[in-house]
Amino acid sequence: MVNIAGMIKAIYLDLGRVLIDIDLNVAIRGLEKATSWPLSDIAQFLNGELIQEYELGRISTDIFYRTFCESLQTIIPVEEFKTLWSEIFVTEPLLSESFLQSLARNYPLHLLSNTNELHYDFVVSRYPLLRHFKERVLSFQVGRMKPQKEIYQVAIERSRVGAAEIFFSDDRPENVEGGLAVGIQAVQFHNEAQLKQDMRKAGIVF
């Protein structure tokens, strides 16, 4: 990370495993019970092309749901499917409300996330702390995913500041590298204490 104390003018944070923890195994086990397909097949499916197409916004939620049921040769009531699909989110956020409030008082706070419509709608409905985030650069809305450089360029444009004036944190090293490649000050997320330490090094006041 480039250290330029006092130069940060906007902050972007990832959603899953930074703001809110996720556990894919919860959804996989729930879908296993609903479909009777083995865990390994469901896990492989969840890492496949259909998920990427959905997170890029290339297919609608309705098409995703119907294709999912057809692919696994099962019928899950749509509301049950939405619940099972969103059970990956662990209840307690990884970042405290007080910390986000203090950041939002001093900086524009934004989201930069690879996500899909169902997951995003679920998080918005369950986690009031998202109210602290102004811009929300989401893969399914902009048609690009981290670590593609285009999604970072959208983030820079929406922040209305220079790349070097943005601080970004993500749990995945390749997404951090993607930010660094376009000049953003980026660090890998491990926990709140570590993030605070890296933010202080960058001159961020909270």
Q: Which residues, 6+ apart, have CB-to-CB distance to 136 below 8 Å?
A: 110, 111, 113
Q: What is the Cα Rg of the chain in Å?
A: 18
pLDDT at 4: 43
- What 8-state DSSP symbol labels residue 143? T
Tell me if 4 sits within 8 A of 201, measured CB to CB.
Answer: no
What pLDDT is stored for residue 142 in this prediction? Answer: 98
**pLDDT band, residue 90 (cuts 50/70/90):** confident
Task: Provide the pLDDT for residue 6.
Answer: 56
- The position carrying tokens 């890029």 is 56
pLDDT at 47 over 90: no
Residue with tokens 């989110």: 89
* Mean per-residue pLDDT, 111-124: 97
What mean pLDDT is reported for the chain? Answer: 92
Structure-block tokens of residue 130? 């998202």
DSSP 164: G
Structure tokens at 64: 């995703």
